[in-house]
């Protein structure tokens, strides 16, 4: 009898424990199926960090399987293709009307989110790696941008002098270069000499005001530009604080083209270094052609030419050319308009201002051809 009672007691305990176990062991939540994320995500659902900088507005992106088809079976780990609009401005100054970047990513899911990581499929002048997560139809991405060994600017330093010698006038219209003249204060100047002398006076004013007579630009692998300024009195270079970057992705000219990115604070200071009379909200800012993400953008082209040093001696020189976003040859128009508006705001009758008005007219009337370049000497 005692044995039977003991057996019944143990059976009751086992049943009770089994009941508790069945109540506490709920069915696990299955991982998210990867085919549910195969769709487009607009920029307001994508939170992007590029080389440590948060970008807003972000990028559009989409995910799909390499064959473009949805799998017939549930899939929780797979190689996928991720496409995004580039996180930089295109040749027309537009963020979203560009060819997409393509990444090959490995994606895996859990019950809460999907994680992915990978790198660009096609790259030449730059490479990118990406990692991120998708949760509740929102995407968090971290991109790392690096220029490749084929990018001619990477890890090179160039010096830009604040003098008329840095301005390249080799592309004056050949029909007027040796024939056209400018009469100024009763003196007849060849067009080239007049332009160079006038710009040299502007450089001298800039040096007198800022105490800076040269800049050095070092183009780093991550797309940032380290800027240093040379003190005119000591000859020493000191770092310039701020955000400066380059995206050098196009292949026109002898070297190619791209965009300079400048922080808004640095862009405004550039103008205020020239102008005391006006606040940054009043002055026309036509050299920086687009403003977005708290940055100003200048489309540029880099071109190399051989410069004659003597009868038998030549030197290859790199020139930075200001161009237009929607028109490669529009850099002259932007600079002409900048000079025209500047002289209207200054509204004085100094020789400097009058000369700037004249240069604006020469640009507008194509007495100076549309290539607008500055010489940058490589520092080795």
- Give which of 250, 230, 236 is closest to 325, Cα–Cα: 250
| pLDDT of res. 256 | 62
Give dist(CA 361, CA 217) in Å, integer. 31
User: How large a percentage of the chain has pLDDT more than 70?
Assistant: 69
What pLDDT, on the 0 to 100 scale, is given for residue 250? Answer: 58
User: So what's the pLDDT on residue 24?
Assistant: 52
Establish whether the linkage from the previous residue to 169 is cis, with ω within 30° of 0.
no
Q: Left (φ > 0), alpha (ψ -120 to 50) or beta: where does 201 sit?
A: alpha
Token pair recorded at residue 98: 């560009």
In the prediction, which pLDDT does 284 show? 47
* DSSP per position, 248-279: EEE--SSSEEEEEEEEHHHHHHHHHHH-SSS-
Q: Are 372 and 336 in contact (CB under 8 A)?
A: no
- Segments of the chain scoring below 50 in pLDDT: 2, 4-5, 7-11, 13-23, 172-178, 252-254, 277-284
Which among 278, 273, 300, 281 is positioned nearest to 289, based on CA atoms? 300
pTM for the full model? 0.78
Q: pLDDT tens across 294-350, in order? A: 887 877 777 766 667 777 887 767 777 766 655 555 555 666 766 776 677 666 678
Tell me, what's the pLDDT at 360? 80
Spatial separation of the C-alpha atoms in residues 301 and 281, rounded to whole Å: 28
For 270-309, what is each residue's pLDDT tens digit? Answer: 666 655 544 444 444 555 666 777 887 877 777 766 667 7
3-state secondary structure of 106: strand
Residue 96: per-residue pLDDT = 58
- Name residue, tokens 């002048």: 125
Separation between Cα atoms, residue 30 and residue 265, nearest integer Å: 50
């Amino acid at each position: 009898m005692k044995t039977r009672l003991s057996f019944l007691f143990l059976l009751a305990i086992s049943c009770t424990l089994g009941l508790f176990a069945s109540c506490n062991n709920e069915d696990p939540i299955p991982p998210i199926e990867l085919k549910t994320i195969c769709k487009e995500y607009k920029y307001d659902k994508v939170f992007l960090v590029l080389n440590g900088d948060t970008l807003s507005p972000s990028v559009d992106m989409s995910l799909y399987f390499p064959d473009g088809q949805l799998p017939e079976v549930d899939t929780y780990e797979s190689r996928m293709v991720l496409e995004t609009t580039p996180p930089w401005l295109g040749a027309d100054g537009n963020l979203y009307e560009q060819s997409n970047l393509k990444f090959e990513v490995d994606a895996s899911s859990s019950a809460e989110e999907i994680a992915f990581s990978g790198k660009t499929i096609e790259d030449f002048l730059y490479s990118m790696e990406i990692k991120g997560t998708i949760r509740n139809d929102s995407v968090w991405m971290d991109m790392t941008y690096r220029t490749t060994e084929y990018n001619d600017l990477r890890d090179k330093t160039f010096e830009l002098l604040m003098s008329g010698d840095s301005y390249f006038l080799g592309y004056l219209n050949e029909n007027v270069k040796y024939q056209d003249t400018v009469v100024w204060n009763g003196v007849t100047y060849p067009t080239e000499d007049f332009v160079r002398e006038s710009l040299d006076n502007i450089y001298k004013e800039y040096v007198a005001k800022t105490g800076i007579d040269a800049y050095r630009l070092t183009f780093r692998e991550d797309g940032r530009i380290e800027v240093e300024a040379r003190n005119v009195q000591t000859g020493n270079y000191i770092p310039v604080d701020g955000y400066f970057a380059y995206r050098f992705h196009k292949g026109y000219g002898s070297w190619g083209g791209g965009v300079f990115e400048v922080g808004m604070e640095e862009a405004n200071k550039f103008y205020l270094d020239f102008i005391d009379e006006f606040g940054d909200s009043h002055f026309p800012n036509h050299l920086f052609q687009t403003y977005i993400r708290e940055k100003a953008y200048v489309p540029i082209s880099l071109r190399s030419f051989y410069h004659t040093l003597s009868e038998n001696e030549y030197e290859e020189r790199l020139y930075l050319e200001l161009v237009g976003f929607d028109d490669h040859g529009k850099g002259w128009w932007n600079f002409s308009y900048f000079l025209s508006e500047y002289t209207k705001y200054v509204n004085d009758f100094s020789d400097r201002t009058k000369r700037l008005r004249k240069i604006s007219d020469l640009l507008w009337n194509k007495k100076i051809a549309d290539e607008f370049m500055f010489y940058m000497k490589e520092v080795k």
